[in-house]
Chain A
Amino acid sequence: GAVVSQHPSWVICKSGTSVKIECRSLDFQATTMFWYRQFPKQSLMLMATSNEGSKATYEQGVEKDKFLINHASLTLSTLTVTSAHPEDSSFYICSAPNRVYAEAFFGQGTRLTVV
């Protein structure tokens, strides 16, 4: 199958700082990528849809100024958590649809801990 790589796999940062998470489709192009958030022992909740060359579409209740998404190329989307706070600590997962395989492939996830 296709491969989606997410980096970093874990990060610890201080309150008030910003953290950037990268999501790359390694062997295919993705004009759309999805960013999910997963709290401990809970399900994945879609945060936003990243669109190459245009603005991301955010789900209701997600602060677009806090969670900045950039999809600058057909293989890379980034999520930047700005001015992070402890309540932003979570597991963030990206996915990229692949039409050849007719499924979305997921990154390994990033565990963010804000102290």
Chain B
Amino acid sequence: EAQVTQNPRYLITVTGKKLTVTCSQNMNHEYMSWYRQDPGLGLRQIYYSMNVEVTDKGDVPEGYKVSRKEKRNFPLILESPSPNQTSLYFCASSPAGTHEQYFGPGTRLTVT
């Protein structure tokens, strides 16, 4: 089944403890991105990747890192999480030539 998967789905952590949220897609899509979803703000793009080893900042990149060593994986790294990063995070992928994005199930992160 063609899909985007994320792990973990739920995570509660403490301020400053490094964490990684994994994202994987099996559709051979070139483009992948991370969003955060907050009430009243909709979805905002954190980082995106146009292909392997090509990443760039989205609208709200502060406090996040990403890497794209393989086409299928695009992990999101929070080196020192803070409470304002408590949010619902979505990974998405997209084939070349289209803006249509396929979303993962989401990761609900709580930083205390």
- A and B found bound together: no
* A interface residues, Cβ below 8 angstroms from B: none
